Amino acid sequence: MKDEKTTHFGYQDVPVGEKAGRVRQVFDSVANKYDLMNDLMSLGIHRLWKRQTIELSGVRKGHRVLDLAAGTGDLSARFSGLVGDDGLVVFSDINAAMLQVGRERMEDQGRVGNLHYVQADAQYLPFPDNHFDCVTIGFGLRNVTDKQLALNTIFHSVKPGGRLLVLEFSKPTHRALEKVYDLYSFTLLPKIGKLITDDEESYRYLAESIRMHPDQETLKGMMEHAGFERCDYFNLTGGVVAIHRGYKL
């Protein structure tokens, strides 16, 4: 019998068909404490990373924006204000629990007119070709089963002249920082997860998923392979996080 194809779930090899369900379980578990954990894990610096992403997006009034892996909506909220009443922000996440938490948060903030909510897998987007001025995926690409397929699919959904921005954990550029980061990720982070969410294993997976994600140059090459041009990246916090940008010309 032919062996079933596998992929990585953190440091584990699992059947390709199982990964999405396992990732879903992780985010079902952490959805209600997601914002608190983001602040604790990054000491609040994630807000600066997202602000830089917004500045690189080029989004303005009237634009259509797709925010993939939108989580609880930090990027979507900012885009909603930028595109105005004539624009559109599609708030999308593969996880129903995260989508619900994000929608409630946006409604609590009074952001209702130009936000649409779609549960979607980045690998199989239900949107027309050449539809969005900007697509973002923040801290979500590393959880996608087939990252290249997702990038290919995103390329089709971007308008000519539009751009993709990938905000994601990456590879520290200094060896000393990498050692400190590893110690934090595999020792302290799971214990914070246990204390706040009573779920140590989900945060151990998150740390492992970061290490398995392509480094800066590899991800840049994957974006170019998908068809994006003028691809570049910006290392933040010593490369702990990077913003990749590519254009559809």
pLDDT digits (tens, 9 = 90+) for 11-48: 888 899 888 888 878 787 777 777 777 887 788 899 99
**Full set of structural domains in the chain with CATH:** 6-173+205-247 (3.40.50.150)
| Strand ranges, E, within the chain | 6-9, 12-15, 64-68, 88-93, 115-119, 132-138, 158-169, 229-236, 241-247
Instruction: Write b or e for each residue in 135-156: b if 16 or more Cβ atoms lie within 10 A of its Cβ, otherwise e.
Output: bbbbbbbbbbbebeebbebbbe
Q: In the predicted model, is pLDDT for residue 184 greater than 60?
A: yes
Q: Give the alpha-carbon dihedral of 153, 13, 20, 140, to 10 degrees.
A: -60
pLDDT for position 198:
82
pLDDT band, residue 152 (cuts 50/70/90): very high
What is the length of the chain?
A: 249
| Residue matched to tokens 């992929």 | 7
pLDDT digits (tens, 9 = 90+) for 34-84: 777 788 778 889 999 999 999 999 999 999 999 999 999 999 999 999 999
pLDDT for position 170:
96
Output the pTM of the full model: 0.91
pLDDT for position 2:
46
Closest CA to 25 of 197, 241, 175: 197
129 is in an annotated binding site: no
What is the percent of the chain with per-residue pLDDT over 70, rounded to a whole number? 98
pLDDT for position 156:
98
122 is in an annotated binding site: yes
Strand order in the sheet with 64-68: 115-119, 88-93, 64-68, 132-138, 158-169, 241-247, 229-236
